[in-house]
Amino acid sequence: MNKNTAVTIKDIANALNLSASTVSRALRGMPEIHPETRQAVLQLAEDMDYQPNQLAKNLVKSRTKTIGLILPTLSYHFFASMLNSIEEAAMQAGYSVVVCQTNESYLREVAQIQNLLHSQVEGVIMSLARDTSDFEHIYRLQRKNVPLVIFDRYSTDIDASRVIVDNHEAAFKATQHLIENGCQRLGCMAGPPHLLISNERLRGFKDALEHYGLPYNERYVFYNDFTQENTMMQALNMMSLPTPPDGILTMTDRIAFATMYAFKQKGIRIPEDVAIVSFNNDPTCIYLSPSLTSVNQPIQEMGAQVVRLLLKQLENDQPVVAETIVLSTQLMIRESSMVEGRKK
């Protein structure tokens, strides 16, 4: 029931006694059109409020000018914000983006990819779901030659362009910060064990311990599934160990929030009893009591790079080799890790 009578190129052509092709060329400002007639065409197009039919245009050029974005969820600030910056960058390049959420489910991820293919996106940008450890659906995508770039949650099993953050370094520095503030027994609330990004951070954690001659103990690392209940339980379990940690690195602010919540209920004080540093720098970090120190990722920059890499693939005819951009992070130090009088 949309505009039953939209004005087309032919309408303009008829009104001016021109051919459709001339009008088309005039509208696009091609050189082989007399300035006068071009002017007439543009004028009339304006008057008739001509809107080019994208559908037709798309068909002949077989381009849709849309890209697909697959995210684990939008209720994490990080991803919502990435959508923000990606959408901004895409718009500037004349693309629109359709978003899908996997809700961390592998099945939904393959379904969403299917949907995107079906709606003929020119390329896809994604961050892996918590539950995906098989990549056949992604290989299929690549076999169809649709340009792909992955950010944040990536996998080395996927040969695609990616923009990530130096997770090892970030975790190393975060852990270093805890140690230099006097923490001796460090614990880690990690993500699911098959999530590469979590393992990278864990490795940074481990290396920092080693570097400072502190013991690394598997019992002090918990792998959770990003749910609140699960993390609260694990957090309490961690503090019930014979010698509970006095500092914890959490993989994500959401995890930190939940553990802080659990600790508060049990009367465990932060940072006095245990310091916390986390990842993502959610804007609400500053609103908590204590405020949460967290590593900040350059979201704007990441979004810009992501679409840059995608565009590079989209607008080059020859296949372009996968490229990985590693950005650096910044530790935002706040109350949750400021341990007075505990420096060693």
Partner DNA sequence: AACGTAACCGCAAACGTTTGCGGATGATAT
Partner DNA sequence: ATATCATCCGCAAACGTTTGCGGTTACGTT
Give the binding range for its own copies (CB under 8 A) out of 114-122, 155-163, 243-251, 301-309: 114-122
For position 177 contacting DNA by CB under 7 A, the verdict is no
Size of the site for its own copies (CB under 8 A): 57
Rounded-to-integer distance, Cα 245 and Cα 242, Å:
9
For residue 329, what are the CA distances in angstroms to 16, 77, 165, 180, 324? 60, 17, 7, 19, 16
Residue 75's CB: how many other CB atoms inside 10 A? 10
CA proximity to 231, closest of 188, 201, 197, 267:
188
Q: Name residues contacting DNA, limited to 95-134 (CB under 7 A).
A: none
Choose the stretch contacting its own copies; rule: CB under 8 A; options: 67-75, 156-164, 184-192, 243-251: 67-75
Strands 123-126 vs 96-101: parallel, antiparallel or unpaired: unpaired
Q: CB–CB of 245/185 below 8 Å?
A: yes
Q: Phi first, then psi: what are they for 321, rounded to 5°?
A: -75, 150
Instruction: Find the shortest distance in angstroms from Cβ 7 to DNA.
Output: 7
Please calculate the CA angle 73-75-76 and round it to the nearest 5 degrees. 85
Interacting partner of 147 out of DNA, its own copies, none (Cβ under 5 to 8 A depending on kind): its own copies
**DSSP 3-state assignment of 59?**
helix
Residue 8, contacted partner among its own copies, DNA, none, CB below 5-8 A by kind: DNA
Nearer to DNA, 10 or 269 (CB): 10
Where residue 124 falls (left for φ over 0; alpha for ψ -120 to 50; beta otherwise) is beta
Least distance (Å) between residue 186 CB and its own copies: 23
Q: Please report whether residue 107 would count as binding its own copies according to CB under 8 A.
A: no
Contact 199, 260 (CB under 8 A): no
58 is a contact residue toward its own copies (CB under 8 A): yes
Report the distance separating Cα 98 and Cα 315, nearest Å: 19
Stretch 239-298 residues interacting with its own copies (CB under 8 A):
257, 260-261, 264, 283-284, 286-289
- C-beta of 25 vs 77, nearer to its own copies: 77
Distance CA 61, CA 55 (A): 10
Looking only at residues 48 through 77 of this chain, which bind DNA when binding is defined by CB under 7 A? Answer: 50-53, 55-57, 59-62
Residue 136 touches which of its own copies, DNA, none (CB < 5 to 8 A by kind)? none
Answer yes or no whether residue 173 interacts with its own copies by CB under 8 A.
Answer: no
Q: How far is the CB of 38 from its own copies (least distance, A)?
A: 22
Nearer to DNA, 37 or 291 (CB): 37
* 17 binds DNA per the rule CB under 7 A: yes
Q: Which pairing describes strands 66-71 and 247-250: parallel, antiparallel, or unpaired?
A: unpaired
Contact pick of 22, 24, 26, 64 for its own copies (by CB under 8 A): 64
Candidates 40, 65, 166, 196; binder of its own copies (CB under 8 A) is 65
Q: Which of 16, 98, 304, 322 binds its own copies (CB under 8 A)?
A: 98
CA-CA distances (angstroms) from residue 47 to 3, 13, 40, 54, 292?
Answer: 17, 14, 10, 20, 58
* Pairwise CA distance, residues 245 & 222, whole Å: 12
Residues in contact with its own copies by CB under 8 A are 1-4, 51, 53-56, 58-59, 62, 64-66, 73-75, 77, 80-81, 83-84, 87, 91, 96-101, 115, 117-120, 122, 144-147, 257, 260-261, 264, 283-284, 286-289, 313-314, 316-319
